[in-house]
Structure 1
Amino acid sequence: MDHPRDAARGGQRARPGRSAAAGWVSSRPRAERAREVADVLRQQITSGRFPDGVLPDEYSLGQRLHASRNAVREALGLLRNEGLITRRRGVGTTVVLPKYGHGLDRLAGLAEALSGHGAVTNEIRAAEAVTELPAVIAERLGVPAAAGGVRLERLRWLDGLPLSLDSSYLTTDVGTRVLAGDLVGRDVFSLIEETSGHRLGRADVAVHAVTADPDTAALLRIEAGAAVFALERLTHLADGRPVDAESIRIRADRMALRTTLHRGVPPASG
């Protein structure tokens, strides 16, 4: 027989007449178990495990995940606080918005990466030549600040909802040609390759989790302080020259950043 203290800490006992799933009763704190369940459900939601957007009831989820209903209920509360799901009596638990995967293992524009998921459109907020670059941008692009460049700011939309706010500085020779292209309907990457006659080669990427400032939140239609991905990207031509320095803010409730990592040969210890 399970010790009452363990049952109290691990969740409620099985109902009379029902057999408890393995792991329902646990000596682990329920909050810890709830966090684990939330992690599993989040992964399943973002990978499209529930294509109709409806999650099973608490009892069924508990059976599947070997967790108590209390732990499942707390886990769903965590996901609701994240804005990932909503819960309504008589309706059940449903996914608020689909999350789209954006691979980090391939250099691709947003429209290219989300091909087949919906229509990506660009609201142009700035598209202008600048006579002097900010010092930190000039350093990233490897040019003097006085060389100037092109500044772009685009609000990216997917199926009628804002997805990301992209701010870019391009070198003058590449950016001037891009300004003449279709910035509303095309990705900047494809415009760079088309207008410059050079292929892109690689990008250096850093991703941070930050909270949205009031201006960004208003543009992305989220609450100020909500979580967003801050992606800093420096894109190079195939010859290694950096031409595009970007700062991107992505709604974390609508995008999952994915990649496939391969383990190489460990360096020899000397």
Structure 2
Amino acid sequence: MHDPIPGHGAAWGEGLTRADRARRVAQVLRGQVLHGAFPGGVLPDERALIAEFGATRNTVREALGLLRDEGLVERRRGVGTVVVGRTYRHPLGELSGLAEVLQRHGTVVNEVREAGTVRPPGAVARRLGLAEGEPAVYLERLRRVDGTPLSLDCTYLIPEVGEPLLARGRGALEGQDVFDLIERGVGLPLGRAEVAVQAVVADPATCAVLAMPEGGAVLAVERLTRLADGRPADLEFIHLRGDRLTLHATLDRARGTGTAPSGPA
């Protein structure tokens, strides 16, 4: 149970609506679920949660209902509330491919939905430093982990980088990360990346591809990756299932805000 702030008599959450108190309980429990805090995947029973949060039974049940609606937990007769929605963590402080990270958690499969040479939109061409009318290589892949769709990756690459990737064939595109293919297959070392992440409601087509219910949230990632010599290599638009992936980083205030962190590949 959380003690009152010294000098104040109000208990934690007092003065809030029950919905607000449930949100606060769910917020803490969500973090514990995502960090694997419950051995065996079973949450403490209601009495333990009531004591822990100093909350009423109805508030605790409402909080668990929020997590259930998010697909993180479910109630099982004779067992209790169990974790069912597995999530994966991706570090923000390193330039690594999503498959590189996810291979630590399960079997990663890339389904190539499209691969070929295209005329990129003007905005994309400018970001990649391509001349007007110059082609780019387009690669679209659906990424699954242990059979569960996790991300839809749409990548535009400069010809120098993309054409050798296409020449390696579908097997390489399905079995290896783009970063690994660029560095080992093409022999061009990568340098840094500029990343923007936004939570958005997925469109119906994206929901269908990712096997999500309509209206589900995704993390929309836009990343421009540069070669070691500073030239743009690829521009990616990635939709990650918001209920299956968390982005994390260890931040040092003393280091300031010099270099922007990188995100998933």
Which category of TM-score, normalised to the shorter sequence, fits these structures? 0.7 to 0.9
Counterpart pick for 2:104 among 116, 119, 124: 116
**Which of 166, 182, 194 is matched with 1:192 structurally?**
182
After TM superposition, the structure 1 = structure 2 runs for residues 229-244 of structure 1, keeping only pairs within 5 Å, are 229-244=219-234
Letter in 1 for 2:201: T
What is residue 14 of structure 2 aligned with on the other side? Answer: 26
Contact conserved, 2:114 with 2:141, CA < 8 A, in 1? yes
Matched residues in 1 for 2:32 and 2:157: separation?
A: 38
Matched, 1:134 2:121: yes
Matched residue SS, 1:117: coil
Contact 1:134 1:145 in 2 (8 A): no
Shift of 1:204: 0.8
Aligned to 1:162: 149
Larger-gyration structure (1/2) = 1
* Distance (Å, rounded) in 2 between the aligned partners of 1:104 and 1:249: 16
| Structure 1 counterpart of 2:144, one-letter code | W
SS of match in other structure, 1:74: helix
Aligned to 1:253: 243
Structure 2 letter corresponding to 1:87: R
The number of residue pairs the alignment matches comes to: 245
Query: Structure 1: which 5+ runs fail to align?
Result: 1-21
Change in Cα spacing, 1:145 to 1:126, as seen in structure 2 (3 Å) is farther
Over the matched positions of the two proteins, sequence identity in percent amounts to 56
Establish whether residue 36 from structure 1 lines up as the match of residue 21 from structure 2: no
Contact 1:164 1:249 in 2 (8 A): yes
> Of 210, 225, 248, which residue of structure 1 is paired with 2:215?
225
- Say whether residues 1:83 and 2:79 are aligned partners: no
- Does residue 48 (structure 1) correspond to residue 30 (structure 2)? The answer is no
Matched, 1:212 2:199: no
Residue among 98, 106, 112 paired with 2:94: 106
- Coordinate RMSD, CA, aligned: 1.9
Contact 2:102 2:145 in 1 (8 A): no
Does the Cα contact within 8 Å between 1:42 and 1:79 map onto a contact in 2? yes
Secondary structure (helix, strand or coil) at the match of 1:146 reads coil
Q: Would the aligned equivalents of 1:234 and 1:244 in 2 still touch at CA under 8 Å?
A: yes
Q: Give, in whole Å, the separation in 1 of the partners of 2:150 and 2:256.
A: 39
- TM-score, normalised to structure 1, is 0.85
| Residue in structure 2 matching 1:73, options 61, 71, 96 | 61
Contact residue 151 and residue 241 of structure 2 kept, 8 A: yes
TM-score (normalised: structure 2): 0.87
Could you tell me whether the CA contact under 8 Å between 1:203 and 1:236 is conserved in 2? yes
**How far 1:121 sits from its partner (Å)?**
0.8
Unaligned segments of structure 2, at least 5 residues: 1-9, 258-265
